[in-house]
Amino acid sequence: MIAQWQNISLAFPDKRVLDNVSLTVYPNDRIALLGDNGAGKTSLLRILMGRIPPDSGTVSMARGASVGYLEQSLAAVEDSNPSCMDAALEAFAELRDLENEISALNARLASADGDTPRLLEELGEAQQRFESSGGYEFRARAEAALTNLGLSEEVWERAVSCLSAGQKVRLALAKVLLEDHGLLVLDEPTNHLDIEARTWLEEELRGMDSTVVVASHDRRFLDAVSEKVVHLEGGSIKTYPGNYSAFRRQRDERLEADWNVYEKRRKTAGKLKKQARAYAGWSKNREKDKQGAYDKGFVGHRAAKLMKRSLHAQRRLEKTIEDMEAEKPFEKDAVKVEFHGKKGRTLLAAGNVAVGYERPLAENVSFALEGGDRLAVLGPNGSGKTTLLRTLLGELPPLSGEIKTSPSASVGYFDQENRMVEPRTPALRAVLDTGCDETLARTVMGRMRVKRATVHKPFGALSAGEKAKVLLTRLILGEHDLLVLDEPTNYLDIETQDVLLDALGDFPGGMLFVSHDRHFVEALATEVVELG
């Protein structure tokens, strides 16, 4: 055992999140922690790390266990660090101290200060320790980790306080990977990674000896790194062997088996109802016969026997119905989200467009987007994808080239920075601003898995996943011809991603979107524009 939750319960004012949850992590486990937004995944990880106390239950950690924790907040990187590279090199504090010791010994030898033979001996021992501990590789390892996670050399000397939120999260991930930990606890490590960085991270984790517990909504990533799935739903957990795809198969098979058991119990209940009614009727008739019969003893005995059978059948019926109610498989409401929009006609066209600020980030971008087209814009972080979207929407001027938008097209924009809604606006009001009635707004919010307790909260107080669902609901009800989506699946649980994919697949209008989710791109895109 390397870590263990025992009988953990946790409740917030508006809901119970964890209900008597127990889970053990063994050495070399590769665990994927799954669940809807708000199911309690982050809370479970934060309880393990001592960030929040449970209402009840205990947490145990193996003696001497070293844990590396990547949390969704930015607390893992302090803005006081002088530079991005210095922050990454904190993972090698002992080697840097040894490096400074070697430099000091060399300086003393150069000035002939002190006992030269003794200094040479100390220097030899320090250099041997330095080499055996990987001292000649640690800087190269730090540079490689930063580069592969999308932090290029131009930001290495930039102050941490000047990094973007996404860059800070990637820096925090680099630090966790560079440190020597027996257990890695990673909460949404792929949210700010492009496709190349996600692929590198998969390979890095597969090559490590560390035990890994990871919460993520990227199914391809989970397939690559997990060997066990822990599914958190309704405050309790179920464990499945294998990766994410194996979990989906097993869950579907279990659900089918549960329905078969339920159907058998339903048929049994029907038979027992008939038996109970028949025995009760026979008993009643025998009781009438008894009142007019000479042999009252025989008839009375027969009536009592039938009544006993009737009561026995009734008790069996009640127990069967009770079991059915307890074991009825959970069935989510059928979800069908319908967008508006029209097929045909050119909605948006770009001819040799260059976008950027002082210098071009992307050049020679050309395409024509019609109703029914779904164009994916791909490329590494920093290649200008969001800048391209904002330029096509008229928020930024192009550096060169021509952009044409149909004057009659209604454009809906999903902005990953959440600039489209004022933070104090209640979630429901943000949706009602589209002009729809409240019943329809609540229905579609429910289908997009926005919880009932969320609808009256201020938009700024919502989690990242809840904000995304509210903004996407606005788009669904906005009656747009053209959708421009910037990372729409970031922070969305997989079930909601599937709802969104089903809806977007039937959207008749045009669509331009940026995404690093490989499954989402392959399932949706009809064409691809690749930058960088």
Q: Is the pLDDT of residue 277 over 80?
A: no
With b for 16 or more beta-carbon neighbours within 10 A and e for fewer, the 209-248 pattern comes to ebbbbbbbbbbbbbbbbbebbbbbeebebeebebbbebbb
The confidence score (pLDDT) of residue 294 equals 46
| Selected residue with higher pLDDT from 80 and 152 | 152
Q: Determine the Cα–Cα distance for residues 283 and 253; give it in Å rounded to an integer.
A: 45
Q: Please give the Cα distance from 242 to 30 (Å, whole number).
A: 9
Residue 111's pLDDT is 78
> Which has the minimum average pLDDT: 10-19, 132-141, 307-316, 508-517?
307-316
Q: Which residue has the higher pLDDT, 451 or 211?
A: 211
- pLDDT tens across 466-509, in order? 899 999 989 888 889 999 999 999 888 998 899 888 888 888 89
- Supply the pLDDT for residue 9: 95
Least confident of 192-206, 245-259, 320-334: 320-334
Q: What are phi and psi of 419, to 5 degrees?
A: -85, -10
Above 70 in pLDDT, residue 237?
Answer: yes
pLDDT at 419: 78
**What are the strands, taking DSSP E only, across 330-477?**
344-356, 360-371, 374-378, 400-405, 411-414
Per-residue pLDDT reduced to its tens digit, 94-132: 888 888 888 888 888 877 666 788 888 888 888 888 888
- Least confident stretch, 114-128, 156-170, 299-313, 335-349: 299-313
Please report the pLDDT score of residue 200 as a whole number: 96
Is the pLDDT at 305 greater than 70? The verdict is: no
Average pLDDT over residues 29-54: 93
Residue 370 Cα distances to 121, 348, 481, 497, angstroms: 75, 7, 10, 24
For residue 426, is pLDDT > 80? yes
pLDDT of 121 reads: 83
Provide the pLDDT for residue 340: 59
How many C-beta atoms surround the C-beta of residue 331 within 10 A?
A: 8
Higher pLDDT, 304 or 387: 387
Q: Over 70: is that where the pLDDT of 398 sits? A: yes
Render pLDDT for 60-81 as a digit per residue (tens, 0 to 9): 999 989 999 999 765 455 555 6
Strand pairing report for 411-414 and 482-486: parallel
pLDDT, mean of residues 283-307: 55
The pLDDT of residue 395 is above 80: yes
Q: Read off the pLDDT of each residue in 26-39 and give the average, rounded to a whole number.
A: 92
Task: Give the mean pLDDT of 290-302.
Answer: 52
User: If pLDDT is split at 50, 70 and 90, which confidence band does 208 have?
Assistant: very high
* Chain mean pLDDT for the chain: 85
pLDDT confidence of 353, banded at 50, 70, 90? Answer: very high
Q: Is the pLDDT reported for residue 326 higher than 70?
A: no
Rounded CA-CA distance 209/245 in Å is 23
Label residue 382 left, alpha or beta by phi (over 0 means left) and psi (-120 to 50 means alpha).
Answer: left
Supply angle C-alpha 444, 449, 455, rounded to 5. Answer: 70
